[in-house]
């Protein structure tokens, strides 16, 4: 009998501190950086974001999302035999955030590791978990995207600091005899490293290089729209589907313009696109599971519907997953 994997539970968490565009503009103005709600909304579609408290880490955000997903799947922590955390903002250099989260969750003994593919991280992690379940190496997996991106922001650069927020999203993926994840498609091209990066690292107890986010917005936009369309079409072809079959598109919540362009290329109306970027900004690897959980819990996405997840991020990385919920 063939093994498949299905999402059986979703969860998400946003830290309590919420900053509207007006709140952020007021804070930036203290440092002489001028911006406005209109300027941010027009270019990004973002109206608010959440920032974690200084003592809160990615594992803390991920833990809250994981608990929700487990509850939705009617599972206990000890039922899990695989934990994958997608993050670019780990708690420590090592051990992995997944191991730290595993301990906080009380799920001892399962395999646990991190995936680093920036904003595509959740797509990568979900694909890896699906593959491990299909081979029989795991039966019940927690796949989590968790980020504290506020720690990487240069608050003197309004072109980047207004874009990002903190948060976490999670899914439980279980072995099934009926297909859930139908196909996935992953890619990367390292020649584009410089257009979106945090070019710093730790050496000898010091930070070498620049530990703050750098982005060439125009280059990222141009590349993102093209590769998202390629990944979407490739994953549809692998599953023997066409764009018209898709009930819902859940893209990486980076920028409303990128999302609109991706939908337009697939000839999907925006009514079929799950949009949450206005409420939490770009939460990197957390954004897709955050959006998915919100849509599932609201009843917007219903069981049996065909859902496409797609993401693009620094590296440059990109990919898509097609699934029946």
Catalytic residues: 119, 252, 282
Question: CA-to-CA distance for 308 and 64, rounded, in angstroms?
Answer: 25
Gyration radius (Cα) of the chain, Å: 19
| CA 141 – CA 137 distance, rounded (Å) | 10
The C-alpha atoms of residue 161 and residue 82 are separated, in whole angstroms, by 34
Q: Where are the beta strands (DSSP E) in 87-176?
A: 111-115, 140-148, 166-176
Question: Which residue from 316, 323, 6, 19 is spatially nearest to 167, judged by alpha carbons?
Answer: 19
Say how far apart CA 82 and CA 75 lie, in whole Å.
13
Question: What is the C-alpha to C-alpha distance for residues 116 and 139, in angstroms, rounded to an integer?
Answer: 23
Separation in Å, CA 258 to CA 186, 197, 227, 251, 309: 19, 19, 11, 9, 14
Q: What is the maximum alpha-carbon separation in the chain?
A: 64
Q: Measured between alpha carbons, how far is 82 from 113 in angstroms, rounded to an integer? A: 9
Angle at 216 between CA 211 and CA 221, to 5 degrees: 130
Based on the number of CB atoms within 10 Å of its own CB, is 100 exposed (0-12), middle (13-18) or buried (19 or more)? buried
């Amino acid at each position: 009998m063939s093994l498949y994997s299905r999402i059986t539970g979703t969860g998400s968490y946003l830290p309590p501190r919420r900053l509207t565009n007006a709140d952020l503009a007021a804070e930036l103005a203290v440092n002489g950086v001028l911006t406005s709600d209109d300027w941010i909304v027009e270019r990004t579609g973002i109206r608010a974001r959440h920032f974690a408290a200084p003592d809160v880490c990615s594992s803390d955000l991920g833990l809250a999302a994981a608990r929700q997903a487990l509850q939705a799947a009617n599972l206990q922590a000890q039922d899990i035999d695989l934990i994958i955390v997608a993050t670019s903002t780990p708690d420590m250099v090592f051990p992995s955030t997944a191991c730290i989260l595993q301990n906080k969750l009380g799920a001892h003994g399962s395999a646990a590791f991190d995936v680093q593919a920036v904003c595509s991280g959740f797509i990568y992690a979900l694909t890896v978990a699906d593959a491990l379940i299909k081979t029989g190496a795991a039966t019940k997996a927690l796949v989590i995207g968790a980020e504290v991106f506020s720690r990487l922001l240069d608050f003197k650069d309004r072109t980047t600091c207004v874009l990002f927020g903190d948060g976490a999203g999670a899914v439980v993926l279980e072995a099934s005899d009926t297909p859930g994840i139908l196909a996935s498609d992953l890619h990367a091209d390292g020649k584009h490293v410089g257009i979106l990066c945090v070019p710093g690292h730790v050496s000898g107890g010091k930070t070498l290089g620049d530990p703050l986010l750098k982005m060439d917005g125009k280059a990222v936009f141009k590349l993102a729209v093209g590769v998202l369309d390629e990944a979407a079409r490739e994953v549809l072809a692998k599953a023997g589907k066409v764009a018209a079959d898709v009930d819902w598109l859940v893209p990486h919540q980076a920028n409303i313009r990128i999302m609109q362009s991706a939908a337009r290329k697939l000839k999907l109306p925006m009514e079929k696109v799950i949009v949450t970027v206005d409420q939490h900004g770009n939460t990197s690897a957390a954004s897709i599971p955050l959006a998915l959980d919100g849509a599932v819990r609201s009843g917007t996405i219903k069981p049996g519907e065909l859902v496409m997840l797609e993401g693009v991020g620094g590296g440059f990385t990109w990919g898509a997953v097609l699934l029946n919920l």
